[in-house]
């Protein structure tokens, strides 16, 4: 014969097991919602000024010696704006709005060195602004605040970690630019 206390313990174990399963699922759901919130602004559609439905990226002012930076930035900007929808990229003659990006700073610098003066950690920095002008009269419709993006990396300045950090800082910068545009109109 099984003692009564055994049945009670077994029942309590099942209740505790169910409680833990539900608690785990609830926590997983809450953490899932929290993690989605971090990137939620990147899904907000662009809100363009007034009667602007088509854009042309006419200029990227790039004072750095990095010749690849302008074309990559153009591509990243178009990708980010197109992903959010509500925009059509056209030639300058067909555009209602003309956009320009001005890079103020592009740098890669050492942040941490070891005892032998060997670079342990570096950082890529991009500082820029975006502007949209009306095609008809070239009046300024919108100007972003100065955007500063920084991305740390380890390893050689010409290595794969550096290149990955460079791409990431540009992609994050274009996301931030799109966020500002969405918030201002």
- Find, among 62, 148, 67, 49, the residue nearest to 100 by Cα: 62
Question: In the structure encoding, which two tokens stand for residue 1, read together?
Answer: 């014969």
What pLDDT does residue 4 have? 53
- Find, among 69, 63, 46, the residue nearest to 132 by Cα: 46
Question: In the structure encoding, which two tokens stand for residue 163, read together?
Answer: 């290149």
Question: In the structure encoding, which two tokens stand for residue 93, read together?
Answer: 């003659």
Please say whether the dihedral angle defined by the alpha carbons of residues 111, 117, 120 and 122, taken in this order, is positive or negative: positive
Q: What are the φ/ψ torsions at residue 148 (nearest 5 degrees)?
A: -120, 120
Q: Which of 41-55, 72-86, 99-113 has the lowest mean pLDDT?
A: 41-55
Q: How much is the average pLDDT of 112-132? A: 78
Which CA distances in Å does 127 have to 21, 61, 70, 145, 153?
A: 48, 12, 13, 10, 18
Torsion (CA) 72, 78, 79, 80 in degrees, nearest 10 = 110
Q: What are the φ/ψ torsions at residue 22 (nearest 5 degrees)?
A: -65, -40
Q: Looking at the predicted structure, is the pLDDT value of residue 148 above 90? A: yes
Q: Identify the CATH assignment for 45-184 out of 2.30.30.100, 3.40.630.30, 3.40.50.1970, 3.30.160.150.
A: 3.30.160.150
What pLDDT does residue 37 have? 44
What pLDDT does residue 18 have? 74
All structural domains of the chain with their residue ranges = 1-38, 45-184
Could you report the per-residue pLDDT of 42-60, keeping only the tens digit for each?
Answer: 567 787 877 789 999 999 9
Percent above pLDDT 70 for the chain = 70
Q: Which of 6-10, 97-101, 126-130 has the lowest mean pLDDT?
A: 6-10
Which CA distances in Å does 110 have to 107, 132, 154?
A: 10, 35, 10
Measured in whole angstroms, the distance separating CA 90 from the mean position of its chain's CA atoms is: 24
Helix (H), strand (E) at residue 88: strand 88-89
Instruction: For residue 164, give every residue at least 6 positions away whose Cβ sits within 8 Å of its Cβ, in sequence order, or none.
Output: 153
């Amino acid at each position: 014969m099984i003692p009564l206390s055994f049945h009670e313990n077994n029942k309590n174990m099942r209740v505790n097991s169910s409680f833990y399963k539900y608690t785990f699922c609830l926590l997983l759901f809450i953490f899932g919602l929290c993690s989605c919130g971090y990137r939620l602004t990147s899904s907000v559609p662009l809100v363009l000024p007034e009667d602007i439905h088509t854009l042309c990226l006419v200029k990227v002012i790039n004072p750095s010696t990095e010749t690849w930076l302008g074309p990559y930035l153009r591509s990243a900007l178009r990708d980010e704006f197109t992903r959010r929808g509500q925009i059509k990229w056209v030639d300058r003659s067909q555009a209602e709005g003309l956009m320009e990006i001005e890079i103020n700073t592009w740098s890669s610098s050492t942040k941490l060195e070891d005892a032998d003066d060997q670079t342990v950690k570096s950082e890529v920095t991009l500082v820029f602004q975006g502007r949209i002008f009306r095609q008809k009269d070239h009046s300024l419709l919108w100007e972003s605040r100065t955007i500063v993006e920084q991305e740390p990396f380890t390893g050689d300045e010409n290595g794969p970690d550096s290149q990955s950090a460079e791409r990431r800082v540009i992609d994050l910068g274009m996301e931030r630019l799109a966020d500002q545009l969405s918030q201002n109109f």
